[in-house]
Structure 1
């Protein structure tokens, strides 16, 4: 087993930003042939920050690993026709399109379907009506910026992680695989639509936020406290900040044992008339519990805490910067088999992950993102039967770009 679980599957991708490119990369890192189609100068996200000193997008390189790149003049009839031909190219494991661009013109499902009846197209949308939406506009509607940040904060606090994009990207990959399985069984294609807005709304319901509000409860800000159980940050004696969590009963007991507060907790239970083996009661008593733990943490260095916590299997973590993560944390290094240093074209050495999934402890190694147009000639000759001379003429006419 070589980790190429999806070997033979071919997906055409026309996308930008996070969700759709992440879905395509997920499939590519599982062994599918994912061919990204862009305009001659790259897509909307080709210069997206963060960038290197010379303006090369680290973002684009990060979300397009293991793919092939084809560049066409999508403003010309010839370029659009080539794009359509790639999408509907024959093959039992082909005829699959992933996009978050408007499904019209050369991406119109009904028009494409006239050329390939079993076409599978998954279109990632912003809102459920097909309008524009991103995490930074979806989150305010969900109320999350009013739950994020210190308790005394007034107004909204945005979150920097594009959570809905990330979930949508994984769901896009899942949706394509589900549709492909149905096609294998029934021989039919379909146009699957996946809205960022709907993903976010579904997760809000899954996690109980909507039921909580429906029950007449208004969630408040709790800063760095873990809602519904015990967990918060503390300062160590040498000025480091750590997070400790007692969500499960085992985690809580391990924390009490490591910090030596077992008897104090029993006394606290008696005084408050509560059972702190219940996670909700630990949340209610979080200030009293923190008062027991904080002095113990403050009297010890990070190294001492690590030894004490790890020996008792405490659930905890040190707060660290991204730079510290990269340079000091073995999990974010080649000591972790998921990572390896790649020579990313246009950037240089980059620590890059393979897919986190492990199948029988094997996976495909990480591969760099392609140079823009690096595979144009090969793809057009392989899939459309064009000769090298024909591709050369198209290049000279400005219809295609070959790296």
Structure 2
């Protein structure tokens, strides 16, 4: 079993020396912080005293803490700070004043109400890069509406395409809207840091809306409507307009087969015993195959239906036809390819458990990411972070007595 790399907390990774203050909670902002932290950035997460990030209590818990938390908050330090208090806001200003990046995913206007808006922060720290993730962005008629990832998926056009034709649109199974926003945010942060480096040290705001992050990956959805008035609809497991590519039943489950390349299609048809389709003149290009997609799907399904998945995958693999089974968590956990590429790592929690977690993506040859520290308990690093900010033990004790820090 591969074990998560444990290395000193400072001066490792491509982003070593970059200090990030992470505000906000749950998924979008924290996933961005986690992504940057994996590559060496120092991430200081500000949480509310007493409750902390709600993700600590989401889904399955181990000794009262979500195992999801162990992934989302590795390589971070936790400071419990009451941002609704004037003293807490002043401490936040001090921390942000010494940071390179601020990540926040509150509803627009929240930070301004605390005196922590962009105009206030850049006056103290002109080089600050501020990532703001919200449901609808910082401008526009919807900016003040509450927005979660699922709403972003719906508005971005994704939810209309998920599921079987004519049935209720379904969730894709993970918080894809939040994650897409986080990844767009990470791209924005890295771009802004590079610009700051080569253009005089000035920071800027990165405005990421959940629905826009989803919309950005919707391929030809709008051009098709603009050019032809075509509204793409749900297509189940098929790949609309590209054939053959679908899920096909075997005796013990489903396999996905992507036979939509011209030469791949011919190899696929020969492999399943349909040379007539392999050589048909009208099937030598995608347009002709799309016109006969139901016939092609039926031919492939007739061949897979009488065979187990292992046989189907072995035969198609030998013919160099892309195919794969639909993996469960158990399949991923036991797969040797995942293990060989360090995509399943054993991580030690601060409560003394060992839990397997996803590895680090992408893989850099010279400065690979690493897990330098496990996810913190609430306020684990409050005293240390405040001391680094110049507060004395007496001042910290007074703040704790007031409930401003914990």
Task: Give the TM-score range, shorter chain.
Answer: 0.7 to 0.9
In the other structure, the counterpart of 2:260 is 247
Rate the CA distance shift 1:252–1:45 in 2: closer, same or farther, 3 A: farther
In the other structure, the counterpart of 1:107 is 116
In the other structure, the counterpart of 2:223 is 211
In the other structure, the counterpart of 1:306 is 313
**Cα distance in structure 1, aligned partners of 2:193 and 2:367:** 24
| Count of residue correspondences | 383
In the other structure, the counterpart of 1:96 is 101
In the other structure, the counterpart of 2:277 is 265
SS at match of 1:235: strand
SS at match of 1:203: coil
Moved over 4 A (4+): none
Residue pair 2:313, 2:324 contacting (<8 A) in 1 also:
no
Deviation at 1:313, TM superposition (A): 2.4
The answer on 1:277 being equivalent to 2:290 is no
* Match 1:117 to one of 120, 126, 132: 126
**Cα distance in structure 1, aligned partners of 2:33 and 2:136:** 21
Rate the CA distance shift 1:106–1:374 in 2: closer, same or farther, 3 A: farther
Deviation at 1:142, TM superposition (A): 4.3
Deviation at 1:303, TM superposition (A): 2.4
In the other structure, the counterpart of 2:235 is 222
Rate the CA distance shift 1:220–1:109 in 2: closer, same or farther, 3 A: closer
Gaps of 5+ in 1: none
In the other structure, the counterpart of 1:288 is 295
Deviation at 1:23, TM superposition (A): 1.1
In the other structure, the counterpart of 1:202 is 216
Residue pair 2:18, 2:100 contacting (<8 A) in 1 also:
no
User: Residue by residue, what CA displacement relative to the aligned partner does 1:270-297 show, whole Å, maximum 9, x if unpaired?
Assistant: 5xxx2x2322332322221122222322
In the other structure, the counterpart of 1:49 is 58
Residue pair 1:257, 1:312 contacting (<8 A) in 2 also:
no
* Match 2:378 to one of 367, 372, 395: 372
Superposed CA RMSD: 2.5
User: Residue by residue, what CA displacement relative to the aligned partner does 1:192-241 show, whole Å, maximum 9, x if unpaired?
Assistant: 2221222233333xx1101112221132332221212211122223x221
Deviation at 1:257, TM superposition (A): 4.2
In the other structure, the counterpart of 2:335 is 329
Where do residues 159-174 of structure 1 align in structure 2 (5 Å cutoff)?
Answer: 159-174=172-187
**Cα distance in structure 1, aligned partners of 2:302 and 2:12:** 49
Gaps of 5+ in 2: 1-10
**Cα distance in structure 2, aligned partners of 1:12 and 1:376:** 13
SS at match of 1:355: coil
Residue pair 2:46, 2:81 contacting (<8 A) in 1 also:
yes
Higher relative contact order (CA 8 A, sep 6+): 2
Deviation at 1:40, TM superposition (A): 0.9
Give TM-score scaled by structure 1 length: 0.86
Deviation at 1:155, TM superposition (A): 4.2
* Match 1:235 to one of 243, 246, 249: 249
**Cα distance in structure 2, aligned partners of 1:16 and 1:43:** 8
SS at match of 1:199: helix
Rate the CA distance shift 1:61–1:347 in 2: closer, same or farther, 3 A: farther
**Cα distance in structure 2, aligned partners of 1:140 and 1:157:** 10
Where do residues 22-61 of structure 1 align in structure 2 (5 Å cutoff)?
Answer: 22-52=31-61, 54-61=63-70
SS at match of 1:73: coil
SS at match of 1:283: helix
**Cα distance in structure 2, aligned partners of 1:303 and 1:138:** 38
In the other structure, the counterpart of 1:175 is 188
In the other structure, the counterpart of 2:7 is none
Deviation at 1:106, TM superposition (A): 4.5
